[in-house]
Chains A and B, each alone.
Chain A
Amino acid sequence: MADRDGMVEKRGAGLWLTHLGLIIGIAFIFFPIWLAFVASTVEQQDIVRPPMPLLPGGHLIENYTRALTAGINAPVATMLFNSMVMALGIAFGKIAISLLSAFAIVYFRFPGRQVFFWLIFLTLMLPVEVRIVPTFEVIANFGMLNSYSGLILPLVASATATFLFRQFFMTVPDELAEAARVDGASPMRFFFDILLPMSRTNIAALFVILFIYGWNQYLWPLLITTDPEMNTIVMGIKQMFPSGDDFAHWPTIMATSILAMVPPVLVVIGMQKLFIRGLVESEK
């Protein structure tokens, strides 16, 4: 390999040191996850009795089957499904709504256009906690407690995503819209045939972020789902902790934690390909 004096390409001891540093860093971050995994493969008494085991035990299948089918308050499979519905609903809902509102703001001249844009922008400045009580009130009055629509709808509006798409649409040359107009495309046709395919890289990137955002929702599901059958997995883990004198069943809880991590990881890995391909074939 050619000699370069760049910072990245060091050779010999430097290279090994770099790798050693990275490996230690990863091990440091990965260790708690490893412990959780180990705890999900042993029996309850192995965990309670010090020292904690550091190598996986032989109860992996048994523990995971128990978690998925029975769980503690509700089967984890149900909670996974609930989380999946909520995360997908939020991701798709947010993308659809912000695409449309960005389209309206960028391509249409209507009275109060700027006002509406700033209204959307303003919502960025209010943290969720400030509006969570009134939101709860509204959802409760609509009778949407313990329902998927109650989980999803209050979270589908997104100022950030609207802003992102607005910025992207503003980089699309005006001539493209004009060419479509000369070709006879109606505004919605232009949106679906041209704008949407051109935004697919942005949509993919946003989907990853929004899916994880939806998956990791904690406070909102905790407030509006009282029925264990409607629990999402992230809040469900907390619900598994016993109240009072009961003892926690750690292998099941740890198995649930590991299961809760899998879908976001799969989404990131799965979308990464599309993401990078989108970046490489830069268009416009």
Chain B
Amino acid sequence: MATVTLKNLKKSFGKTDVIHGVDIDIQDGEFIVIVGPSGCGKSTLLRMVAGLETVTSGEVQIDGKTVNDVEPMDRDIAMVFQNYALYPHMSVFDNMAYGLKIARVGKPEIAERVQNAAKLLQLEPYLQRKPRELSGGQRQRVAMGRAIVRKPAVFLFDEPLSNLDAKLRVQMRLEIKALQRELGVTALYVTHDQVEAMTMADRMIVMNGGVADQIGKPLEVYADPATEFVAGFIGSPPTNFFDGALIGDQSGRIGVRPEHIRLSDTGILQATVGYAEALGAETLVHLRAEDGSQITVRQDAALPIPSEGETRALTWDTAHVMRFHENGVRL
């Protein structure tokens, strides 16, 4: 229930610049995912919004008010940490109630809010347990519950699913998204997993080396990446890149997504078949071009799998070709 605005936000640790100026206007109720590889500054960015990290220059505004020097508790935010950061000696109930107790909320109201959150998160049978008696997914829910009971204006998530196993991660990401919709709270969500970014985000910020390479809706970012980095980072398997010279094109680097390439008898490019991964619904065929570039083709499982060592031609619709300058910027 608040907007968040970042204005030319910068951060340096000593002489090292970690964030080189990020600008974004986040709408009320929007789900923003900050995605990027380790060390790109995405967590630092989130922690600056939380108030756990000082702002070197620029502005953080929550609901129109500059909060650069405001303590985390007064920013009307709640944060879910990667390792959950539950208080180990407190029961689930006390963990969720702690913030409210400090805020001197009345006991009956605390009980009611915690009960409601527990119901929402299916935690009711576990309220009296200690965190160590819960499974990873349940702990994750408690951490969410602790954020929900405070009724914050902004939710901040710092890689909340990275400690869960793959199956649980898929389930929890649906739950988090559903919960955020239901509560209508503005959310900032940090992850290194591009699948989470694609599935959860209303808009995403793709960070690379302290710079926001691209900000946009997931499908727009996927279809129309602004830089070679974004094209390579978003999408799995990643976009194939090779020198334009390979196909007689002089304009820098060429990128084509694996699903846009077809194996055929005559085509734009000749390549030697390497290993093929049959995933059931689809097959990933890895090939090597004449100049050594690795190319992956994603094809339907019904299509014949080429044998290793065979030389095949590759073809694609030129509309799908992405061209990049040598410095990585899209042409």
Contact across chains for A193 and B98 when beta carbons are under 8 A apart: yes
Q: Smallest Cβ distance from B81 to chain A, in angstroms?
A: 4
Report Cα–Cα, A198/B89, bound state, in Å.
7
Contact across chains for B88 and A181 when beta carbons are under 8 A apart: no
A179 cross-chain contacts in B, Cβ below 8 A? 79, 81, 85-87, 146
Q: Smallest Cβ distance from A186 to chain B, in angstroms?
A: 8
Report Cα–Cα, A108/B86, bound state, in Å.
22
A-B contact number at CB 8 A: 60
Contact across chains for B81 and A175 when beta carbons are under 8 A apart: yes
Partner of A182 from B72, B82, B87 at Cβ < 8 Å: B72
Verify if A189 is at the interface (C-beta below 8 Å from B): yes
Contact across chains for A185 and B102 when beta carbons are under 8 A apart: yes
Contact across chains for B102 and A183 when beta carbons are under 8 A apart: yes
Report Cα–Cα, A182/B79, bound state, in Å.
7
B200 cross-chain contacts in A, Cβ below 8 A? none
Report Cα–Cα, A189/B87, bound state, in Å.
13
A184 cross-chain contacts in B, Cβ below 8 A? 72-73, 99, 102-103
A193 cross-chain contacts in B, Cβ below 8 A? 87, 98
Contact across chains for B85 and A176 when beta carbons are under 8 A apart: yes
Verify if B114 is at the interface (C-beta below 8 Å from A): no
Contact across chains for B102 and A178 when beta carbons are under 8 A apart: no
Contact across chains for A178 and B85 when beta carbons are under 8 A apart: yes
B52 cross-chain contacts in A, Cβ below 8 A? 178, 181-182
Verify if B83 is at the interface (C-beta below 8 Å from A): yes
Interface centre among A181, A189, A198, A281, by most chain B C-beta atoms within 10 angstroms, is A181
Report Cα–Cα, A198/B87, bound state, in Å.
9
Partner of A284 from B77, B88, B99 at Cβ < 8 Å: B88
Give the size range of A's interface with the partner.
10 to 19
B86 cross-chain contacts in A, Cβ below 8 A? 179
Contact across chains for A183 and B98 when beta carbons are under 8 A apart: yes
Report Cα–Cα, A193/B88, bound state, in Å.
11
From known contacts A182-B73, A183-B98, A184-B73, infer whether A175 and B88 are also in contact, taking CB-CB under 8 Å: no
B71 cross-chain contacts in A, Cβ below 8 A? 181
Contact across chains for B87 and A194 when beta carbons are under 8 A apart: yes
Contact across chains for B85 and A173 when beta carbons are under 8 A apart: yes
Closest B residue by C-beta to A196: B89
Partner of B132 from A176, A180, A185, A283 at Cβ < 8 Å: A283
Verify if B50 is at the interface (C-beta below 8 Å from A): yes
Closest B residue by C-beta to A189: B102
Contacts A175-B82, A181-B72 known; list 9 others, CB within 8 Å: A173-B83, A173-B85, A178-B50, A178-B85, A181-B52, A182-B50, A183-B150, A184-B99, A283-B132
**Residues of chain B having any CB pair with chain A under 8 Å:** 50, 52, 71-73, 77-79, 81-83, 85-89, 98-99, 102-103, 132, 146, 150
**Residues of chain A having any CB pair with chain B under 8 Å:** 173, 175-176, 178-185, 189, 193-194, 197-198, 281, 283-284
9 A-B residue contacts at CB 8 Å?
A175-B81, A175-B82, A178-B50, A179-B85, A181-B52, A181-B72, A182-B52, A183-B73, A283-B89
- A-B pairs with the 4 shortest C-beta distances? A184-B73, A175-B85, A183-B99, A179-B85
